[in-house]
Amino acid sequence: MYADLSLRPQSTGDALELLREAARLGYKLIAIEELEELDKERISEESSKRGLTVVWRRTIASENRRGFREAARGRVGRLMVAEPLSLEAARFAASSKSFHLLRITPGMERLIDRSTKRLFSERGWGAIEVSLRLLLNNWGPREWRYYSVSLRRAHAYGLTTVIVSDASRPEELWHPYSVIGVSAIAGLPGPLARRSITSAPRVVASMLRVV
């Protein structure tokens, strides 16, 4: 069962189109960034029609632990994703059970290290999130470095990795085979590349008791 845990439609129409294309490509589990503008009822109807399981996510960016603490309050039932902007924030997010994923952004690849692995182990679970978004359109050495360094470090430190598209439109979705192939070229062994869009996201979503 293929999964993409980060779709970012800006309208309900875009969300419905994304769901149709995701189903066509073979995805079964989808997470959508929560926005007030989105009609959840229509999206739920479309996902059921297409045989998709949809969860709602909230990405929180912060440079300190206080920002993460305040943002996480009352977010029950959502996939909570921490986007740390500093080492302090990253260490807090990796140890906090309020967050399901630790999102790695360009320039923060160093957060994929032994300390993050230890903090995940101490709390009993944990995964990092790496985005394919930067590999669309006019990508270059900087974007490729972010992706390849992130995946190589994750493999080296034995960190569970979830790869997402951050697609806002249907044409930005990746075929699962393309995700696996590009990830393998970047340095993630084939079986782990497959796991990053199958069993790893399923385990993360299972914490919400939806799959």
What's the rounded Cα separation, in Å, for the pair 195 and 3? 10
Residue 73: pLDDT over 80: no
What's the rounded Cα separation, in Å, for the pair 137 and 47? 28
| Structure tokens, 74 | 């009352």
Listed by start position, the domains of the chain span: 58-206
- Residues 84 and 62: beta-carbon distance below 8 Å: yes
Q: What is the pLDDT of residues 85-103, one digit of tens each?
A: 999 999 999 999 889 999 9
pLDDT band at 72 (very low <50, low <70, confident <90, very high): confident
Query: Residue 139: its pLDDT value, please?
Result: 84
Query: Per CATH, which fold does 58-206 belong to?
Result: TIM Barrel (3.20.20)
Query: Residue 74: its pLDDT value, please?
Result: 64
What is the pLDDT averaged over residues 160-189?
A: 96
Query: Residue 95: its pLDDT value, please?
Result: 92
What's the rounded Cα separation, in Å, for the pair 22 and 178? 14
Cα angle value 171/147/53 (rounded, 5°)? 50
What whole-number percentage of the chain has pLDDT above 70? Answer: 97
Q: What is the pLDDT of residues 11-49, one digit of tens each?
A: 999 999 999 999 999 999 999 999 999 999 999 999 999
What is the pLDDT averaged over residues 157-164?
A: 97
- Find all residues with CB under 8 Å of 175, minimum gap 6, and list them: 25, 26
